[in-house]
Chains A and B, each alone.
Chain A
Amino acid sequence: MKKNKSFCAYPYYVWMITFIVIPLLLVLWYALFKSENDSIVFTTEYIKRFFEPIYIQVFLRSIVLAVISTAICLVIGYPLAYILAGKTFKHKNMLMFLVIVPMWMNFLLRTYAWLTILEKNGILNQILRFLNLPTQNILYTNYAVILGMVYNYLPFMVLPLYTVLSKMDINLINAAEDLGANKLTVFKKVVFPLSLPGVVSGITMTFMPAVTTFVISKLLGGGQTTLIGDLIENQFKVANDWNFGSALSLILMVIILLSMRVMTKYEQENEGGGLF
């Protein structure tokens, strides 16, 4: 009888092999093989090309921008999650819910709206001019791209942090306070270590999309901030170099999956001895 049930998953196995496994094998194929004079030969040429300074530079820029935005998300998001999980507000769920609601509006439109705000004659500068303050030109710079990333991925940071913080056992904090720890010590020794799993998953959920985006840099970077995502998109949509595009995707995928492995390992190890 029990055996019968495993039949249920057969359609999925077929689907999984056709639409998950084979496509990834195709990426591998395009990245490592090329057709030359009607024969197919193995080549590392495309992988090697990635290590040319110009592509490395693009890659490093993507990492740097993503790290900065993730850090900003953490700095803004942690206090927010902390406040929301605390006793300041009555309707916590509703407020948390309002953090997620913007994601229901198309992200391209929301990002595009920043253009209207940040432009030379945009809303921000009109307000600044009205207040007789110097105007700012941050659109089409790296700052604008970082702002776009922070804006888009902040909810991904707040959500896991809130979940962890709101489930925290209040008795632990009380106990620490009773034992004479001051607020800062309580935070450093109790609250923060306990919230680490949330921090880790928040960082993962923010960093991963930030490092692979190509839309935000296109919209807010004015074509001047080329990220790894832009590079891949360019290979498939403009340069028509599928081999190099696949090689780039392969490298990106390997790096992301490896770092995920490390992250989840870390999370699992931490679960046991979470107190320290």
Chain B
Amino acid sequence: MNKIFKITLLLLSITLILSCCGQKAVPTADKPLAGTTLKVYNWGEYIDEDVISMFEDETGIKVIYDTFETNEDMYTKLKAAGNNSYDVCIPSDYMIKKMLDEDMLAELDFANIPNYKYIDEKYKKQVFDPEDKYSVPYMWGTVGLAINTDLVKDEITSWNVLWDEKYEKQILGIDSERDAIGLTLKYLGYSLNSKDENELNEAKNALISQKKNILAYVGDQVKDKMLNEEAAIAILWSGDGIVLEQTDQKFKYIIPEEGSNYWIDSAVILKNCQNKAGAEAFINFLCRPDIALKNVEYICYSTPHTEAYNMLSDDMKNNSAAYPPDEIIAKCEIFENLSDVEIMQKYSKIWLDVLSQ
């Protein structure tokens, strides 16, 4: 007993010492924010992790970096975390609007974000932040289909392939309520922001009849599974599709002709941020041309940054999956915040109904 007690005490003190031995940096003239911490909340696999340590080295700010998988995940986590939540977040369009409506965001001081000038005007003044006061675009992209051409010989141009009996249990669905329902609405020829009862029911039935083709509804694992040839077709975000294309020639990313979702993820600062100067420095850092380039080359989504775009290889610039021609973008829609509790519950119920069939 005594011995075990001693060993425990020893272990305890070792761990305590280990946890305290991180050295604290002190502010200096060129690193005024050194020693502070900054909590960043971003999508999984959505940054070149070297960028974080570069930022830490350059500013002396310690970054606590966490990731989320869907906008809804992020939102509920922020709500539960209360005052001690994150400083910088990178949500998508409709979620930014929702957070703005609920007064969760802080106004940005653009004097501290001079690199904002590199962001292409095309991506500013969007519906979710019409006056450009709260958000700085980070990446944009679309939702589409990744096709393994070894397994799929047909030329695919439409969402209707998802209902093709040939591909029973060969399709990976997307594990996100809003995307799954939205894309089906689009396939049926409706707006992906539909609030119409009949249209939504039609989408629900379509999703249910699609289920026999679905192997699983997945999130970030989609690349892993496609590479292992677990499925022939997957619904995914453009960046993942392009990564697949670059890993193996046999993969192709397409945006179906009915149109799809076009989205912008932007960096925002939360209202209860505890290190606003650090947060703005971080956003500014993300907008620095070399850093923006590093990130976009690493994650393969589409950059709203003019300089980073110019520095990309010609192959990438001309990649129609990453930078589709304007007429395709014109067919795509941005998600709007549903903002009505009843409609949101309707969406949740449809999704649950689909999943539990």
Binding site for B on A (CB under 8 A): 54, 57-58, 61, 119-121, 137, 139-140, 222-224, 226, 231, 234, 236-241
Give the docked Cα–Cα distance between A222 and B217 (Å). Answer: 6
Stretch at the interface among B10-18, B68-76, B246-254: B68-76
Known: A54-B353, A240-B72. A222 touches B79 (CB 8 A): no
B355 near A121: Cβ-Cβ < 8 Å? no
B164 to chain A, nearest CB (A): 19
Contact indicator per residue, chain B 339-357, by CB within 8 Å of chain A (1) or not (0): 0000011001100110110
Contact A61 B229 (CB under 8 A): no
Across the interface, B73 reaches (CB within 8 A) one of A223, A226, A237, namely A237
Chain B residues with CB below 8 A from A137, complex form: 169
Nearest chain B CB to A219 CB, angstrom units = 10
Per-residue A-contact encoding for B74-100, CB less than 8 Å = 1, 0 else: 011101100000000000000000000
Whether the Cβ atoms of B356 and A58 lie closer than 8 Å is yes
Q: How far is the CB of A64 from chain B (nearest CB, A)?
A: 13
Q: Do A226 and B355 touch across chains, with their CB atoms under 8 A apart?
A: yes
Measured CA separation A234–B355 after assembly (Å): 13
A119-B228, A137-B169, A223-B175 known; A236 and B76 CB under 8 Å? yes
Are A119 and B76 CB-contacts (below 8 A) given A222-B215, A222-B217, A226-B355? Answer: no
From B76, B169, B348, B356, give the contact of A61 (CB < 8 A): B356
Contact with A along B214-256 (1 / 0, CB 8 A): 1111100000000011110000000000000000000000000
Q: When the two chains form the complex, which single residue of A140, A226, A240 contacts B215, counting CB atoms closer than 8 Å?
A: A140
Q: Is the CB of A223 within 8 A of B216?
A: yes
Q: How far is the CA of A239 from the CA of B349 in the complex (A)?
A: 10
Chain A residue, CB-CB nearest to B344: A239
- Distance from A197 Cβ to chain B, minimum over Cβ atoms (Å): 32
Within 8 A of A (CB), among B314-352: 344-345, 348-349, 352
Contacts of A223 in B (CB 8 A): 173, 175, 216-218, 355
On whether A222 and B76 interact (CB within 8 A), knowing A121-B228, A239-B348, the answer reads: no
Min Cβ gap A233→B in Å is: 10
The 15 sampled A-B contact pairs (Cβ below 8 Å) are A54-B352, A61-B356, A120-B228, A121-B230, A140-B216, A223-B175, A223-B218, A226-B355, A226-B356, A236-B76, A237-B72, A238-B70, A238-B72, A239-B344, A239-B345
In the assembled complex, the CB of A113 is this many whole angstroms from the nearest CB of chain B, namely 15
Complex: A137 Cα to B215 Cα, angstroms? 10
Interface positions of B (Cβ within 8 A of A):
70, 72-73, 75-77, 79-80, 169, 173, 175, 177, 211, 214-218, 228-231, 344-345, 348-349, 352-353, 355-356
Tell me, rounded to whole Å, the shortest Cβ–Cβ distance linking A114 to chain B: 14
State the CA gap A266–B345 with chains docked (Å).
Answer: 42
CB distance from B122 to the nearest CB of A (A): 32
Give the distance to chain A from B224, nearest Cβ to Cβ, in Å: 10
Chain A neighbourhood of B70, CB < 8 A: 238
In the bound assembly, the distance between CA atoms of A247 and B230 in angstroms comes to 38
Q: Provide the main secondary structure of the chain A interface.
A: loop
List chain B residues, Cβ under 8 A from A241.
Answer: 345
Say yes or no: B72 contacts A222, CB within 8 Å.
no
Closest to A52 in B: B349
Partner of A240, one of B79, B228, B231: B79
Given contacts A222-B216, A224-B216, 19 further A-B contacts (CB under 8 A): A54-B349, A54-B353, A58-B352, A120-B228, A120-B229, A120-B231, A121-B228, A223-B216, A223-B355, A224-B211, A224-B214, A226-B352, A226-B356, A231-B352, A234-B348, A237-B76, A238-B73, A238-B76, A241-B345
The CA-CA distance from A121 to B77 in the complex, in Å, is 36
Closest to B347 in A: A239
* Cβ contact of B75, chosen from A61, A119, A139, A240, cutoff 8 A: A240
* Bound-state Cα–Cα, A61 to B76, Å: 27
In the bound complex, residues from chain B placing their C-beta under 8 Å from that of A238 are: 70, 72-73, 76, 177, 348
Across the interface, which residues of B come within 8 angstroms of A234, CB to CB?
A: 348, 352
Chain A residues lying within 8 Å of B215, measured Cβ to Cβ, are: 140, 222
Which residue of the partner chain B has the closest CB to A227?
B356
The CA-CA distance from A202 to B87 in the complex, in Å, is 48
Considering the chains assembled together, what is the distance between the CA atoms of A121 and B231 in angstroms?
Answer: 10
Residues of chain B contacted by A121 (CB below 8 angstroms):
228-230
B72 touches A224 (CB 8 A): no
Q: In the bound complex, what is the Cα–Cα distance between A222 and B229 (angstroms)? A: 16
Report Cα–Cα, A114/B77, bound state, in Å: 29
Chain A residues positioned under 8 Å from B217 (CB to CB): 222-224
> Using Cβ atoms and an 8 Å threshold, which residues of chain A touch B175?
223
Provide the bound-state CA to CA distance between A163 and B39, in Å: 50
What residues of A have a CB within 8 angstroms of the CB of B348 in the complex?
Answer: 234, 238-239
The residue on B at minimum CB distance from A57 is: B356
* Chain A residues with CB below 8 A from B344, complex form: 239
A231 to B229, CA, bound (A): 31
Separation of A15 and B231 alpha carbons in the complex (Å): 51
